[in-house]
Amino acid sequence: MDNYAGNAATPVLTRVLLVLLAVPLMAADWHVAPDGKAEAQGGKDSPWDIQSALEGKHKVAPGDTIWIVGGAYKHPNRSNGSMGYVVRLAGSEEMPINVRGVPGQRVTIDGGLTIQPPSTWLWIRDLEILVSENLTKSRVFDEPGSHPKVYDRPWGGLNVYSGKGCKYVNLVIHDNAQGISFWQGATDSEISGCIIYDNGWKAPDRGHGHAIYTQNKDGVKTIRDCIMTGGYSYTVHAYGSKNAYVDNYLIERNICYNAGTFLVGGGRPSQGIRVRENVLHGVSMQIGYNAPHNEDCEIRGNMIVNGGLTINRYKKAVNEENVILGRDAARPASPLWTKVQPDPYDANRATVAVVNWRKQPNVGLDLAEFCKNGDRLRIINPRDFYGKPVALAVYEGRPISVPVEGEFGAFVVLKGEAK
């Protein structure tokens, strides 16, 4: 009897053990608040401070989420060159660590974020990043160069020096020295759905500070579904000297308008460049810079209005399905061209680009591919993401009327009531 019982129990216990092994450990939710403390427990009623949480001073495990409560988080170092809060959080491929703003709350990081080792498999999303001094102080300096000594405020922005498999999602990044610095140490990582505007400064030599400045060698860097406008220099600036690598990029479905050149190229030959389905208005696209030659690129399905496209010295270049209309080119007979792009990480969010050929004061947005009847919608100017929507509507199967100034408009569409 004892032997029978033991033999029968063995497969049962084995099955139970296998089930337990197949179930991941329970991920934890942690909380950060403006009045949080490093010695707190990290719960809703005992939140951490932001600096200790992001620097990895607590036992945040792969799969955990750090929720940041609404409010302003002003980094104490306000000197020239300060890049703000340092992030050192390491998740795993199966269980990344998430750092998120609480839904419906405005979380403002004043002074910047800098991603440093051992950060990896980390998702950061739904935050605003700015330098508050830029909202009141002059952005015009008499000193030339990329790092003027007279720049009397933090650098700010999102500065990514490390991390494999990281994602930076739906951030609002404005009024910094530079929007995003996305360097070679970050591999197989992604920027998605970010709104980036009015970064940089004016100097005697030129404008400085790009929406995205990036270099890459190994793995693929992805930049998708972002909106870039304003500022003092380039939109995408994937660039380096002959000693730097600008390889292996997927840059797709971004909207760039009223801003500087969209550049991918440098002094070293580039390879593995894919630039697809971007919408540019008042922005030119340049693929290749001054390298003696480049290897391969795919430039496909881009809409460029009031700008041009140049592809420099590529051994193999796919240049297909691009629409290029200069300032003096004849406009199509149709009144509108629109592109609606649902957000890959938020089912209640989409970006919309509108080319308003007839410059009508109001246009109808066809959102059928994004909405179903009864959806409540907020249509937002990306330059005023936290402000009053340009339109509120309930979708009833018809285009939604929105105001557009001039020939081009860009919008973010959100489903649901404001929280």
Rounded mean pLDDT, 120-148? 97
User: CATH 2.60.40 region(s) of the chain?
Assistant: 336-415
Residues with Cβ < 8 Å from 71, sequence gap 6 or more?
33, 34, 105, 106, 107, 108
- Type of residue found at 143: E
Angle subtended at Cα 28 by Cα 27 and Cα 31, rounded to the nearest 5 degrees: 150
Query: How would residue 15 be classed by pLDDT, with cut points 50, 70 and 90?
Result: low
Tell me the CA distances in angstroms from 257 to 279, 281, 352, 407, one per residue in order.
Answer: 8, 5, 13, 11
DSSP element (H, E) containing 355: strand 349-356
CA dist 166 and 152 (Å) reads 31
User: Cβ(173)–Cβ(122) under 8 Å?
Assistant: no
1 pLDDT higher than 80? no
Q: What pLDDT, on the 0 to 100 scale, is given for residue 69? A: 98
Joined tokens for residue 41? 């427990």
Q: What's the CATH number of domain 336-415, 1.10.510, 1.10.1160, 2.60.40, 3.40.1000? A: 2.60.40
pTM over 0.85: yes
Q: Can you say how many angstroms the Cα of residue 327 is from the centroid of all Cα atoms in its chain?
A: 29
Q: How many CB atoms lie within 10 A of CB 182?
A: 26
Joined tokens for residue 260? 């500087």
> In CATH, what is the architecture of 29-325?
3 Solenoid (2.160)
Tell me the CA distances in angstroms from 403 to 221, 280, 369, one per residue in order.
Answer: 35, 20, 21
The per-residue pLDDT for range 248-280, each reduced to its tens digit, is 999 999 999 999 999 999 999 999 999 999 999
Q: What pLDDT, on the 0 to 100 scale, is given for residue 3? A: 40
CA dist 247 and 265 (Å) reads 9
- Type of residue found at 83: M
CA dist 111 and 43 (Å) reads 25
Percent over 90 (pLDDT), the chain? 93
**Which residue did the predictor score with more confidence, 306 or 8?**
306
- Mean pLDDT in the chain? 94
- Type of residue found at 370: F
User: CATH 2.160.20.10 region(s) of the chain?
Assistant: 29-325
What 3-state class would DSSP assign to 366? coil
Best CA proximity match to 370, nearest among 356, 352, 383 = 352
Rounded mean pLDDT, 230-238? 98
Buried/exposed code over 281-303 (b: 16+ C-beta within 10 A; e: otherwise): bbbbbbbbbebeebeebbbbebb
Q: What pLDDT, on the 0 to 100 scale, is given for residue 343? A: 98
21 pLDDT higher than 60? no
Percent over 70 (pLDDT), the chain? 94
Q: What pLDDT, on the 0 to 100 scale, is given for residue 417? A: 81
Rounded mean pLDDT, 212-225? 98
Query: How would residue 25 be classed by pLDDT, with cut points 50, 70 and 90?
Result: low
Rounded mean pLDDT, 111-130? 98
Best CA proximity match to 393, nearest among 354, 364, 359, 351 = 364
2 pLDDT higher than 60? no
Query: How would residue 418 be classed by pLDDT, with cut points 50, 70 and 90?
Result: confident
